[in-house]
Amino acid sequence: MESVSFAIAFLAGLFSFISPCVLPLLPSYVSFITGLSMDQLTASDDRARVKRLVLSNSLFFIGGFSTIFIGLGASATLIGGFLMEHQQIVAKVGGAVVVLFGLYVMGIIKPFWLSVDKRVHLDHKPKGYIGSYLVGMAFATGWTPCVGPILGTILLYASTQDRMLEGIYLLTWYSMGLAVPFLLTSLALNTFLERFPGFSKHMRTISIISGLFLIAVGLLIFFDFFAILATWFTQWGIGYTPNL
């Protein structure tokens, strides 16, 4: 059960990374947290120093948004503990909301309460690694129109868990799904800039796939299919840990 949930949380983080609010603006994020211009980031000379700056600042940036996301996961599970006696109702309502999230990401519906931009706008980054960490926290508290529905899906699922540790694990895997491609792409910024124009043509397709993913997760929550899916994976030896 846990291996299935964590895999879905990781995929949710990955879909958040390739959303229209994150992936196209990746060079701007890297430039902002490192304090380097795009010319400096892509210059061929002194590549070792540039990569060190990108790696160190990106790790602190990732630490910032992971702190917020994991804290939200713990809070969601804590709140969910009070809802356990009405778990079936919560699962039905939560599943239906996640399906609506999916329809929103696909562009089929556009409710005002999901379209409001909650970004935290920073004109100047605080200096140093602490500044990158704080920018990461600001990132996690914003970007509601794109990241919000996918993050909300994982938080809704975390609220159905009966232990706080499970919510923390779920949001840790979500953060990893967002962090790993962010870090790898940041370190290969030149390659990203060369290939992104062609990739950007498929952003609409990515939105549709992300929306279908959310709808599938919503239906899994609504019909309580997670346990059935976990049993199927275990039978095929996926995510199974033998007793030693």
Query: What are 186-203's pLDDT values in tens digits?
Result: 888 878 877 777 766 776
Q: Tell me what pLDDT residue 23 has.
A: 78
φ, ψ for residue 141 (rounded to 5)? -90, 0
Q: Tell me what pLDDT residue 164 has.
A: 82
Of residues 239 and 164, more confidence is placed in 164
Q: Tell me what pLDDT residue 238 has.
A: 43
Q: Do 121 and 49 contact (CB within 8 A), yes or no?
A: no
Q: Residue 175: which of 88, 72, 66 has the closest Cα?
A: 66
DSSP per residue, 21-88 = TTGGGHHHHHHHHHT--HHHHH-STTHHHHHHHHHHHHHHHHHHHHHHHHHHHHHHHHHHHTTGGGHH
The C-alpha atoms of residue 184 and residue 201 are separated, in whole angstroms, by 21
Q: Tell me what pLDDT residue 242 has.
A: 36
Q: Tell me what pLDDT residue 56 has.
A: 93
The C-alpha atoms of residue 223 and residue 26 are separated, in whole angstroms, by 37
Q: Do 192 and 27 contact (CB within 8 A), yes or no?
A: yes
Q: Tell me what pLDDT residue 240 has.
A: 38
Q: Do 239 and 4 contact (CB within 8 A), yes or no?
A: yes
Of residues 109 and 7, more confidence is placed in 7
80: pLDDT strictly greater than 70: no
Quickly count: other Cβ atoms within 10 Å of residue 25's Cβ: 12
The C-alpha atoms of residue 172 and residue 228 are separated, in whole angstroms, by 24
pLDDT band at 236 (very low <50, low <70, confident <90, very high): very low
Q: Which of 109-118, 209-218, 222-231 has the lowest mean pLDDT?
A: 109-118
pLDDT band at 175 (very low <50, low <70, confident <90, very high): very high
Helix (H) or strand (E) holding 216: helix 203-222
Mean pLDDT confidence for 229-237? 50
Q: Do 159 and 80 contact (CB within 8 A), yes or no?
A: yes
Q: Do 174 and 76 contact (CB within 8 A), yes or no?
A: no
Q: Tell me what pLDDT residue 125 has.
A: 61
Q: Tell me what pLDDT residue 244 has.
A: 30
SS3 content of the chain, % helix, strand, coil (to 5): 80, 0, 20
Q: What average pLDDT is seen over the chain?
A: 76
228: pLDDT strictly greater than 50: yes
How do residues 26-66 score in pLDDT, each as one tens digit? Answer: 888 888 888 888 888 877 677 888 889 999 999 999 999 99
The C-alpha atoms of residue 150 and residue 11 are separated, in whole angstroms, by 10
The C-alpha atoms of residue 168 and residue 2 are separated, in whole angstroms, by 12
